[in-house]
Amino acid sequence: MTVAMDTAGERWRATPFDQDEGDTLHEECGVFGTVGMGEAAPLVALGLHALQHRGQEAGGIVVHDPERGFNSARRFGYVRDTFTSEDVMATLPGPVGIGHVRYSTTGSKGATAIRDVQPFFGEFAMGGAAVAHNGNITNAESLRRDLIARGSIFQSSSDSECIIHLMARSMATTIPERMKDALRRVEGAFSIVAMTRTKLIGVRDPLGVRPLVLGRSGDGHALASETCALDIIGAEFLREVEPGEMVVANLDGTVTTHRPFEAQRPRFCIFEHVYFSRPDSTLGGRSVYETREAIGVELAREAPVDADLVCPVPDSGTPAAIGYARASGIPYGMGIVRNQYVGRTFIEPTEQIRNMGVRLKLNVNRALIRGKRVILVDDSVVRGTTSRKIKEMILDAGAAEVHFRIASPPTAWPCFYGVDTPQREKLLAATMSEEEMRAHLGVDSLRFITLDGLYRAVGEAGGRNAAAPQYCDACFSGEYPVEPADMVSRGFRLKAAE
């Protein structure tokens, strides 16, 4: 998460949510690293390319070479446009490297924000180290105030930089031990890929909120946010890094594991199954694609409706729509087509083009839609602005009826663990009932999968254990497994306080 200091310099706050992209939840980061697999930088660039869906604004790579030491590159834009040239790769030699992609819709943008692009690097008495972090430190403000008061000088506005400063203040004699000391003071969610001159280090927070996996190729090893990033470099998936575990892979091919934290009941982010992870990845031994199909099947059981066509809102609604169609017996069709060549960097030179909005990215297949009762399947509803525009496009194309089916429960609470979400009052489900949302969107019906139904679809046959939830589902339930200390100190009201 990126934060900005107010003019008095006394308090840190999240900057306003980006209204242009404010109707979609964004996972803010993806991390990747390799050791002992040959030249690291090209492999890291490939891994980051596979993780581009987790961060599309900027990326960074740090490597180490025995002769040339540590080198780094940070760039704005897509990996394919910034880390594929021979000139860039020539500056990044060495067999150890890590990388990070960032999707920040908060914080400053432009040239001044390059300082926030990870990985972050620090030089310690026992040598240098770089750290890339996926997640969010929920006590970063208090940590930062304390560190600054003790003389630390920050170079970025990122919460992740706190880790480097905490490591610098540790008295431990090795980088892994200093990292353990640092992370014991950190609250929130973190999946970390770090490196020294000869080691690749991966750590997950005790709850395992954000994903991290370990792979192997020959005598070398890789760490990644998702298994799809291992696939692209031809690495074998070994296992997930366990919640609360530190894995250290060395240049000589050895791997050691450590347990720096007290054991806790895991609370992996359930929305990774719904949307964030790529459908060709696996989570918890399950295919993400098959899980999303199962969500659609469960949604069809919970919320049937008479209709002529099941249509996904591409691309995130596609597997769930296929599952819904299969379970309901209603034909599936691509009633909406995505323009794959329009992204967030599309130049919008005129007000007329800006007002086209969703039509720049999505177009209705009129021949398929005309005269039909259409079920639109999407992954979530955040502010509802995109859903309303899609509904209008479907009706303009001649649909007889429009029914929304949503493959997640109502998103009524913001995430503080590494997902960019609006303030709570801007979340449609925070201020409206399901029927009020239906009327607001102007559709014939609107149904969300229940929280129990979502749990069943991801493999929990008995549904959600209300006394001890198996996943982090705070964005749906308002039950935060780690109190967002900084936000509470700034006035955020937890569910229990309402």
| Phi and psi based region of residue 163 (left: phi greater than 0; alpha: psi -120 to 50; beta: remaining) | alpha
Question: Do residues 130 and 194 touch, judged by C-beta distance below 8 A?
Answer: yes
Give which of 220, 74, 235 is closest to 158, Cα–Cα.
74
Residue 459 near residue 471, CB atoms below 8 Å: no
Pairing label, strands 286-287, 471-472? unpaired
For 156, 439, 462, 473, the CA distances from 422, given in Å and listed in that order, are: 23, 22, 32, 16
User: What distance, in Å, lies between the first and last C-alpha atoms of the chain?
Assistant: 26
**Angle, helices 434-441/385-396, rounded to nearest 10 degrees:** 50
Q: For residue 123, give every residue at least 6 positions away whose Cβ sits within 8 Å of its Cβ, in sequence order, or none.
A: none
CA distances from 180 to 32, 184, 239, 254, 427 (A): 20, 6, 22, 20, 37
- Phi, psi angles (nearest 5°) of residue 425: -65, -15
Active site residues: 29
CA distance 80 to 45: 8
| Nearest to 46, CA basis, from 83, 71, 20, 73 | 83
Nearest C-alpha neighbor of 249 from the set 176, 358, 316: 176
Structure tokens at 458: 């991801």
